[in-house]
A and B are shown apart, each in its own frame.
Chain A
Amino acid sequence: MTVPEIIEKLKDRFPDGIRETLVFRGDYWIRVDNEVHYDLMKSLKEEYGFNFLMDVVGVDYPRRKERIEVIYNLYSLGEHLRLFVKIRAGGDIVPRSVTDLWPSANWMEREVFDMLGVQFANHPDLRRILMRDDFPWHPLRKDFQLTSDEIDFGVPIRTKPPKHIKDEPDRLE
């Protein structure tokens, strides 16, 4: 079974759950609703053979209400398929941890919590992992500055996006 077929079947099963499907450079992403996230991940693992959770990525979009995007990188060893599952978190939204499905999620979700401040419900051991325990901030959030003062080299630090790229309000300039 290919990834698009799996996505179609998931759409039948969770009709309102899948908000968005994205194909970019041959990889597949689905953005799912928080309500069905855990059930969908469970079915991906048990019915579609995604037995590897390779990574959990957190990305901060400070202008969104649900500011953190959490991306689960799933891999199926039998069929050699890869699927990225996105959810939105932050604010009041607390996604459910998938540690009981894939034990490897334990440290990965801890890292997302440590770096971006996402809480995961039902996580067995949600502590900081890389920063010290009494560190007050979440350093990979965009409002955590790299240095106290930006040095002006006379060249724009970050260029404006090219004109053909629509500047969405949720992206930082």
Chain B
Amino acid sequence: MNNKSAIKNNSDFKVMEINMGPQHPATHGVLRLKLELDGETVVKCTPIIGYLHTGIEKTMENKTYLQALTCTDRMDYLGPLLNNLGYSLSVEKLFELEIPPKAQWARVILAELTRLNSHLVWVGTHALDIGAMTVFFYTFREREVLLKLFEDCSGQRMMTSYIRPGGLYYDLPPNFEKSVRNILNTFPSAIDEYEDLLTNNQIWINRTKGVGVITAEDAIAYGLTGPSLRGSGVNYDVRKANPYSGYENFHFEVPLGSNGDCYDRYLCRIAEMRQSLKIIHQAIDGLPEGPYRSDNRKFVLPPKQEALTGMEPLIHHFKLIAHGIIPPTKGESYVPIESGKGELGFYIVSDGTNKPYRVKVRPPCFVNLSAIHKMVEGRLVADVIAVIGSIDIVLGEIDR
């Protein structure tokens, strides 16, 4: 933008165009917002995205079904296990794979832990954007415990690729139950701490209450999902509406807001963290024994011991590594899951070969961001920061 066009003279008022981002600490990545301002009031807000585009969908088309799994970690890097789960469920639907109960329950535990991880980063950075720095240090203290657990499971803190088509990558570590119970004991008081710092904090309330309001009708029309939708009072949670991976076995509530402002979205997510703990509690109490992945040798690698001692498992191992898994038929499958941000789904088109013909991600952040102008136009510039924080975007997923 050149200086001449920076200020447009209008007969009624002067509109100033400014760029917020792409390099801005409060845009959670490289988001660029073109704001047209009348004084401090936002007249028009145009998001410009694509700075992090790496062609993940194109890459996935050129990898085998198992290789493509690693790409999913790198989209929403705050919820890698949720992405793994979404992709695995869609592949399993295509392949008609049955998953043993232990893997299903472990998946639920890991998915909810990942949701906690995602919400912890959200509450920390959201508060940091608005000026409450303390919360950030507290949430990252707790997040470290979760990342340590993911590392114990998969060897990786963030890019786990632990949930795979067919079950899990490896059996749960021996200290898994102890670590999860430790999290269940410490987290409720930690969440209380964040609430002490924020929920009744007058500055926090002034900055978020009545800010970034989106009505239920608009939220549905713009396809918002997740806490951004439930903050407006619409009861849609994929875990309840279309249960997957055994969520129908767990008792939990779906927290709803009523005003659709930043404060209600904040309350929804905090309440959701407590519900996640409730789900993990039920799942770890009832975690069944048994195999951690399917024993269908056509699609799932045989155990190493068998591959090293038997002829047939060795052939399966070799075929699965060299060619990858081959779907039984042509077809298209889509399984929605509730990620930390909203409905996440992988639309997979198979042409019967070892590579997906097309993978399309339904990215919740992308859709949620497309409604940002509804929330900020007519408000002050400072509110834009609060709104971006409250819809919880991850640019890695938006741009893919």
A residues adjacent to B (C-beta < 8 A): 24-25, 27, 29, 51-55, 57-60, 71, 73, 77, 80, 82, 84, 102-104, 106-108, 111, 115, 128-132, 139-140, 144, 146, 155-156, 158-162, 165, 171-172
Cα distance A172–B349 in the bound complex, in angstroms? 13
Residues on A with C-beta less than 8 A from B354 are 158-159
CB of B58 within 8 A of CB of A77, answer no
**Whole-angstrom distance between the Cβ of B126 and the nearest chain A Cβ:** 23
Q: Mark B367-400, 1 if CB is under 8 A from A, else 0.
A: 1001100000000000000000000000000011
Task: Known contacts A131-B50, A161-B353; decide if A54 and B236 are in contact (CB<8 Å).
Answer: no
Is B212 interfacial (CB-CB < 8 Å)?
A: no
Between A and B, how many residue pairs show CB distances below 8 Å?
111
CB of B353 within 8 A of CB of A159, answer yes
CB of A59 within 8 A of CB of B349, answer yes
Cα distance A23–B351 in the bound complex, in angstroms? 16
CB of B58 within 8 A of CB of A57, answer no
CB of B322 within 8 A of CB of A77, answer no
Cα distance A171–B331 in the bound complex, in angstroms? 12
Of A27, A107, A158, the residue contacting B366 (CB under 8 A) is A107
**Whole-angstrom distance between the Cβ of A35 and the nearest chain B Cβ:** 24
Is B49 interfacial (CB-CB < 8 Å)?
A: yes
CB of B53 within 8 A of CB of A59, answer no
CB of A51 within 8 A of CB of B94, answer no
- In the complex, the chain B residue whose C-beta lies closest to that of A153 is B322
CB of B352 within 8 A of CB of A155, answer no
CB of A159 within 8 A of CB of B367, answer no
B residues adjacent to A (C-beta < 8 A): 49-50, 53, 55, 57-59, 62, 93-94, 96, 220-223, 234, 236, 241-242, 322-323, 326, 329-334, 336, 343, 345, 347, 349, 351-355, 357-358, 360, 362, 366-367, 370-371, 399-400
Other CB < 8 Å A-B pairs besides A71-B347, A129-B49, A146-B59, 14 of them? Answer: A25-B96, A54-B343, A57-B358, A60-B358, A82-B242, A84-B334, A104-B222, A107-B366, A107-B370, A115-B57, A130-B49, A139-B58, A165-B352, A172-B357
Cα distance A139–B58 in the bound complex, in angstroms? 8
Some 17 contacts from A to B, beta carbons below 8 A apart, are A24-B331, A25-B93, A25-B96, A51-B220, A55-B362, A103-B371, A104-B221, A107-B366, A107-B367, A130-B53, A140-B57, A159-B326, A160-B353, A162-B326, A165-B329, A165-B330, A171-B351
CB of A55 within 8 A of CB of B353, answer no
**Whole-angstrom distance between the Cβ of B367 and the nearest chain A Cβ:** 6
CB of A52 within 8 A of CB of B58, answer no
Of B220, B242, B360, the residue contacting A80 (CB under 8 A) is B242
Residues on B with C-beta less than 8 A from A128 are 50
Cα distance A100–B330 in the bound complex, in angstroms? 34
Cα distance A84–B334 in the bound complex, in angstroms? 10
Cα distance A108–B362 in the bound complex, in angstroms? 10
Chain A's interface: helix, strand, loop or mixed, by majority?
loop
Cα distance A53–B362 in the bound complex, in angstroms? 11
CB of A146 within 8 A of CB of B62, answer yes
CB of B370 within 8 A of CB of A140, answer no
CB of A29 within 8 A of CB of B347, answer no
- In the complex, the chain A residue whose C-beta lies closest to that of B332 is A24
Cα distance A146–B135 in the bound complex, in angstroms? 43
Interface centre among B58, B351, B400 (most CB of A within 10 A): B351
Of B57, B59, B334, B366, the residue contacting A73 (CB under 8 A) is B334
- In the complex, the chain A residue whose C-beta lies closest to that of B369 is A107
Residues on A with C-beta less than 8 A from B58 are 139-140, 144, 146
CB of B234 within 8 A of CB of A24, answer no
- In the complex, the chain B residue whose C-beta lies closest to that of A56 is B360
CB of B347 within 8 A of CB of A57, answer yes
Residues on B with C-beta less than 8 A from A161 are 330, 351-353
Residues on B with C-beta less than 8 A from A103 are 221-222, 371
CB of A25 within 8 A of CB of B242, answer no
Task: Known contacts A73-B334, A104-B223, A130-B49; decide if A54 and B362 are in contact (CB<8 Å).
Answer: yes
Residues on B with C-beta less than 8 A from A156 are 323
5 closest Cβ pairs, A-B complex = A104-B223, A161-B352, A130-B50, A165-B352, A107-B370
Cα distance A25–B49 in the bound complex, in angstroms? 35
**Whole-angstrom distance between the Cβ of A117 and the nearest chain B Cβ:** 14
Cα distance A132–B222 in the bound complex, in angstroms? 24
Task: Known contacts A51-B220, A140-B58, A146-B62; decide if A159 and B362 are in contact (CB<8 Å).
Answer: no
Residues on A with C-beta less than 8 A from B57 are 115, 140
- In the complex, the chain B residue whose C-beta lies closest to that of A160 is B353
**Whole-angstrom distance between the Cβ of A85 and the nearest chain B Cβ:** 13
Of A54, A71, A155, the residue contacting B323 (CB under 8 A) is A155
Residues on A with C-beta less than 8 A from B352 are 161-162, 165
